[in-house]
Chain A
């Protein structure tokens, strides 16, 4: 497959013209077309308006491409609307904020440090499989509070757990994850511990304990929502710093920049392109009629390049001070794993800055998504990078 951008770290904005002229794009998907909303203000407004644009529809339908034909389990709290959503979300909020705790941060720093040490020792590695997948999986053990060894199982699934090679959805592949989660729930039922499965099985909502199906719905979301997105964010950030060594140098000199850098990299790379909603009634968005029970999508990736809010939207401005991006979504469905994801990226940036002098990209193959008229680069299928160690003075 040919790479179409001029540099590994360039992620072009395919939506610019459509965003400015029409404000939307149209995508065909398994006979259930999607109107993609491209402007930041429309995206935010629609994300907020859960009465008109619903998430609690047939499981899999708000995902694009639709997963209706490959799963029945409702992902929780993602495929729900208020007031039901509010109760389930509140139940999960404190668990998913554990990354703010010092012991979690120390544990993650340890994992990242070991991984970076090992890639520096190897010299040249394929970043997607040898670093990003490993880091994503190992970090997830902290979020679930399960033994680090579990990560080896998840790493073994490879990067294509939910899709087979190519674009098609693959129900057989997805069942690997569902079967695994089923087994883990059985284990937690027999021997409750302090892991997320056990905590959920003991939790209450709607005046009763969560059902097995509900626990499964939360776990599937946790695995699926934070896999490709985190892997791409890690890989793309490394590509960026490899091609902008002065920015790595800057993170070394001014480590306090790392927080803003994470937000800016998330804005620029927008790991999740878009997310759907289903119109509750005949309505209108961006002066375009939307029929009841048809799909729209909130295109985070396009909104994050909207020049009416972002100056120089197609440039990475690592210390961008005002950065109201929607890379983690917007409104009450915003990313539950964002605290964890932010910490993973921030720890990666500071560890690279303290251990690596420069990185050189050897060869790579882009991962491009096709959405109707739009071809969007989201990351890499593979990218070979050489990590040059920082020579310590002492």
Chain B
């Protein structure tokens, strides 16, 4: 189990636990505002954009090429940007904090 915290644009904090699936799926299941996952997780819509807390970036890892291309043009992209649909939940992510991007 990994404990994962979402902080929404409205500064609402949602802490939850999961053992598998993706960050996008978890966010949608928990009704996290701003995590819509419109395309169901195929990296087409960018409605699951999160900023990973810097100290967790090494564990989460950088985006892949296709994901980078999607993020590249986003106004709110930072070096901590990931698309939640491309981040698989593992125990290593325990304690992870994510800010929902604008």
A320 CB–B CB distance under 8 Å: yes
Contact pick for B45, options A260, A320, A334, CB 8 Å? A334
**Least Cβ–Cβ distance between B63 and chain A, in angstroms:** 12
**Least Cβ–Cβ distance between A266 and chain B, in angstroms:** 9
Q: How far is the CA of A324 from the CA of B45 in the complex (A)?
A: 7
Closest A residue to B39 by CB, please name it. A263
- Given that A260-B42, A334-B45, A339-B38 are known contacts, is A324 also in contact with B73, CB under 8 Å in the complex? no
CB-CB < 8 A to B45: which residues of A?
328, 334, 338
A323 CB–B CB distance under 8 Å: yes
A331 CB–B CB distance under 8 Å: yes
Q: Total interface residues on A, using CB and 8 Å?
A: 24
B59 CB–A CB distance under 8 Å: no
Q: How far is the CA of A338 from the CA of B38 in the complex (A)?
A: 8
Is the Cβ of B40 less than 8 Å from the Cβ of A263?
yes
Residues of chain B at the chain A interface (Cβ within 8 Å): 36, 38-45, 64, 66, 69-70, 73
CB-CB < 8 A to B64: which residues of A?
322
Contact pick for B66, options A259, A309, A327, CB 8 Å? A309
Is the Cβ of A263 less than 8 Å from the Cβ of B42?
yes
- A–B pairs, 29, beta carbons within 8 Å: A44-B69, A45-B73, A97-B36, A259-B40, A260-B42, A262-B40, A263-B39, A263-B40, A263-B42, A263-B44, A309-B69, A322-B64, A322-B66, A323-B39, A323-B42, A323-B44, A324-B43, A324-B44, A324-B66, A324-B70, A325-B44, A326-B44, A327-B44, A328-B45, A331-B73, A334-B45, A339-B38, A342-B38, A342-B40
Residue-wise interface mask of A (18-62) relative to B, using a CB-CB cutoff of 8 A (1 in contact, 0 not): 000000000000000000000001001100100000000000000
Q: How far is the CA of A325 from the CA of B44 in the complex (A)?
A: 6
Is the Cβ of A260 less than 8 Å from the Cβ of B69?
no
CB-CB < 8 A to A327: which residues of B?
44
Closest B residue to A258 by CB, please name it. B40
CB-CB < 8 A to B42: which residues of A?
260, 263, 320-325
Closest B residue to A321 by CB, please name it. B42
**Least Cβ–Cβ distance between A214 and chain B, in angstroms:** 26
